[in-house]
Chains A and B, each alone.
Chain A
Amino acid sequence: MAKHKTPLLDQLESGPWPSFVSDVKQEAEARAKNEKGLDYQIPADCPADLLGVLELSYTDGETHWKHGGIVGVFGYGGGVIGRYCDQPEMFPGVAHFHTVRVAQPAGKFYTTKFLRDLCDLWDLRGSGLTNMHGSTGDIVLLGTQTPQLEEIFFELTHNMNNDLGGSGSNLRTPAACMGMSRCEYACYDSQELCYNLTQEYQDELHRPAFPYKFKFKFDACPNGCVAAIARSDLSFIGTWRDNIKIDQEAVAAYVGGEIAPNAGAHAGRDWGKFDIVKEVVDLCPSGCFKYEGGKVAIDNKECVRCMHCINTMPQALHIGDERGCSILCGAKAPILDGPQMGSLLVPFIEVNKDDDFQAIKDVVEGVWDWWMEEGKNRERIGETMKRLGFAALVKAVGIDFDPRQVQEPRHNPYIFWKADEVDGDWDRDINEYRKRHQR
């Protein structure tokens, strides 16, 4: 017998898509039964109370969660988000219901051992409810009470060799695509770079010292599976500088219909026979892709590496060998000054594990130094860039100016020249001037 009646939520149990309501109910039942005889460290009925408070929101159209208070673990300024219910008498099980962010492994590959250990920990010390995963990439443990926080942290670090993630005005938990683990498009080892920078900047991740949040995301190719260009203050997107490799025999197999285009991604509809001119040549954004005499020719100097031809014929075309990444800066969601994409800061940089990615770290630290000096409280770096100009950032970080950094040159001639850029001095004598020009 359910603790609260949830007639509205019950309607979300039908339909094909996995029902979170059914799952939370299943957890509520499992905790009520408690077959393992656990001594639950927070109220056993918290999943039932979570459904209760959610049903109330479905009825009255308003949230019933209050602002987070300052809670966390000793020495860290992030990783835990305080959460309290605004109807604690009705739903005591979730009166205190803090979120714990746990750092996920790069690329989100797991062993069942790790996940089972995490389940055991969260069964005993939390609600038994999670998000796999949060939007930034963390494992999100949903709902525990303050006295459990240090215990969770202790067990996480001692027994699972794993740390909390980021929250607040600090480096947020970096996230990477699956990269070289299982993708032929990977131009660099996104997971290794993600892991390395995460370790290097643990202090920045756990102890808020920034004007606002700061995100790293690592996409190993321009397809952008972790959305780096839209969602990270610094995006590391794989690219190459030399030639796309062509296997003409495989090209012929695509043209002849032996291999399905786009790895078979369009198999659900009859789009007709693969037409390499219509589907690849005509769609190439820089017009560098030619198909003549049964052979593909690519004018690589004109290629903008959009990935379309490679995505369409993955068995025939492969990324080049001189690989690295582009770094873009300043992406963010619309709050406050409108949405921003990352802007291209460094067109190409080597991703070199042998020197511990030093060139990349130099860029990261240059960007942070400028932002921490110039950024206002709660100002994302994208907004600082808009306020002070992109050139100011490029200059501060010590990167060469490059036409690749702009879509097109400026529309106005209001250039803020500095005195030292102009021959002679800005301090001039009006009397000397008047010798040449009458009043």
Chain B
Amino acid sequence: MAFISSGYNPDKPMENRISDIGPQHFTEFLQPVIKDNFGKWKYHEILEPGLLKHVAESGDAVYTVRCGTARLMSVTLIREICDIADEWCEGYLRFTTRNNIEFMLTDEGKAKDLKKFLNGQKFAGGSYKFPVGGTGAGVSNIVHTQGWVHCHTPATDASGTVKATMDAVFDQFTDMKLPAPVRIAMACCLNMCGAVHCSDIAILGIHRKPPIIDHEYLDNLCEIPLAVAACPTGAIRPSKVEVDGKDYKTVAIKEERCMFCGNCYTMCPSLPLSDKEGDGIALMVGGKISNRISKPAFSKVVVPFLPNNTPRWPEMTDVIKKILKAYSEGANKYERLGDWATRIGWERFFEVCDLPFTEHLIDDFRDPAYYTWRQTTQFKW
């Protein structure tokens, strides 16, 4: 490999340097029909799953074909997406917050043709490249994190759990037969880059074993006061140990206080906590972000632990399917999963979803825990 210079001169880093320019203005990327009707949209319709029609005051209409992606994508795939956008959409496209792609056209017939075309594209392994759907009262694409693909703190994989889940609920992505949208999110550790704390269904990687202390290296790799300060429960204190007759400055951990958040490991690489048996998945449900009808709500833990049974996490997908089925059968039109569970009562939720209620599901973390206990004699048998 011969190093190819971009023009950057390492001896004079400031020469011709351009910095602090931010992204380009978004209007550089707007398709003519979008630009012409900016701020003047009148209404929209979902013509069929994955196909939206937006009508502007001018009478213009734009047809959007939405398709799912794996989020982790190669430049080969992005170039293929560009080929499609060049051929069908004047060289424009859009990504959604939930990792879907939107192709926009001004002709309804062509939009339907494009939907058919996209549904015909498959990877060599057999899966769809661009499955059309993700609209209305169904399951849209999963927002997720890096997992074992690219992160140092995960307790599970993200791309694999997402693939397994979307395979299991695929018919809900391509149809709109649920009572309301179901938003699934995945975060591979408690740090929640994916912020799954307000999702209808949240898949969360968790650790269950306290950190291993790498005594002989800790003081060289970490600032001990930072590691101590990182612990939200005050379980870590400075300490000294003798290993093979040599004294080391290190930390000691009160293991019964550990909540397995991994915050110490983020501050100190000598405190790893990943473990094949210890790590796995918790499932949370009933969160939402929209202000529609009810207030935004946090997700609640309903399954404290499921094993990392790679490559397809069957225990996890079974529970998700069970919850979705009970919700689909029991909820009213427009009722989000959490609103349904609240209406029927959480005691009923565990019954209809056939999930065990265990001690781990009663909150014991600080003040907010109290507000989740039942302070009334109103409950259901």
Contacts and interface: CB of A to CB of B under 8 A. Distances in A.
B95 A20 contact: no
B46 A135 contact: no
A182 B62 contact: yes
B93 interface: yes
B19 A19 contact: no
B261 A132 contact: no
Contacts of A157: 17-19, 21
Interface in B217-261: 229-230, 232, 261
A131 interface: yes
B279 A62 contact: yes
Contact of B292 (A123, A178, A223): A223
B59 interface: no
A248 interface: no
Interface stretch (A183-191, A290-298, A357-365, A427-435): A183-191
A163 B138 CA distance: 36
B342 interface: no
A163 B170 contact: no
Contact of A12 (B164, B173, B187): B164
B30 interface: yes
Interface string A144-184: 00010011111101100111000000000001011011111
B23 A378 contact: no
Interface in B72-117: 72-79, 81-82, 85-86, 91-97, 99, 104
A31 B312 CA distance: 28
A4 interface: no
Interface in B329-381: 333-334, 365-366, 368
A339 to B, nearest CB: 4
Contact of A306 (B46, B128, B293): B293
Nearest to B57: A184
A45 interface: no
A17 B127 contact: yes
A65 B152 contact: yes
A267 B46 contact: yes
A345 interface: no
Contact of B70 (A18, A133, A266): A18
Contacts of A311: 292
A150 B178 CA distance: 49
B276 A104 contact: no
Given A75-B19, A132-B95, A306-B293, A27 B71 contact: no
A111 B70 CA distance: 20
A40 B1 contact: yes
Given A112-B85, A198-B22, A22 B125 contact: yes
A178 B41 CA distance: 12
A339 B197 contact: yes
B296 A230 contact: yes
Interface in A68-124: 68, 74-76, 83, 97, 99, 103-116, 118-119, 122-124
Given A163-B23, A224-B289, A267-B46, A335 B263 contact: yes
B1 A39 contact: yes
Given A107-B94, A264-B47, A8 B310 contact: yes
Interface string B162-177: 1110110010010111
Given A64-B148, A109-B30, A269-B177, A151 B8 contact: yes
Contacts of B145: 135
Contacts of A133: 71, 95, 99
A438 interface: no
B166 A17 contact: yes
B211 interface: no
A268 interface: yes
A151 B194 CA distance: 30
A416 to B, nearest CB: 18
Interface of B is mostly: loop
Given A16-B127, A112-B92, A223-B290, A268 B197 contact: no
B149 A68 contact: no
Contact of A227 (B97, B125, B167): B97
Interface in A32-65: 39-41, 47, 50, 54, 57-65
Interface residues of A, number: 148
A347 to B, nearest CB: 14
Contact of B4 (A20, A118, A124, A225): A124
A405 B102 CA distance: 37
Contacts of B286: none
A163 B157 contact: no
Contact of A182 (B1, B34, B170): B34
Nearest to B126: A14
B275 interface: yes
A303 interface: no
B197 A230 contact: yes
A300 interface: no
B152 A26 contact: no
Contacts of B194: 135
Contact of B311 (A11, A113, A225): A11
A310 to B, nearest CB: 9
Contacts of A224: 289-291, 296
Interface stretch (A199-207, A366-374, A390-398, A417-425): A199-207
Contacts of B167: 15-17
Interface in B42-59: 42-49, 54
Contact of A18 (B16, B68, B292): B68
B299 to A, nearest CB: 8
B44 A18 contact: no
B136 A19 contact: no
15 contacts: A12-B164, A13-B123, A19-B163, A21-B163, A66-B152, A108-B97, A115-B78, A132-B99, A133-B99, A177-B97, A184-B44, A264-B136, A266-B137, A341-B296, A378-B229
Which 7 A-B pairs have CB atoms at the shortest separation, nearest pair first? A13-B125, A265-B136, A61-B276, A268-B177, A15-B167, A333-B192, A27-B74
Given A105-B25, A132-B99, 16 more contacts: A16-B127, A18-B131, A58-B311, A105-B28, A113-B91, A115-B78, A115-B82, A116-B82, A133-B99, A135-B193, A161-B24, A229-B296, A230-B197, A230-B289, A262-B137, A268-B137
Interface of A: 8-27, 30, 39-41, 47, 50, 54, 57-68, 74-76, 83, 97, 99, 103-116, 118-119, 122-124, 128-137, 142-143, 147, 150-155, 157-158, 161-163, 175, 177-178, 180-184, 186, 189, 191-192, 195, 198-199, 202-203, 205-206, 222-227, 229-231, 237, 260, 262-269, 271, 279, 283, 285, 305-308, 311-312, 314-315, 333-339, 341, 377-378
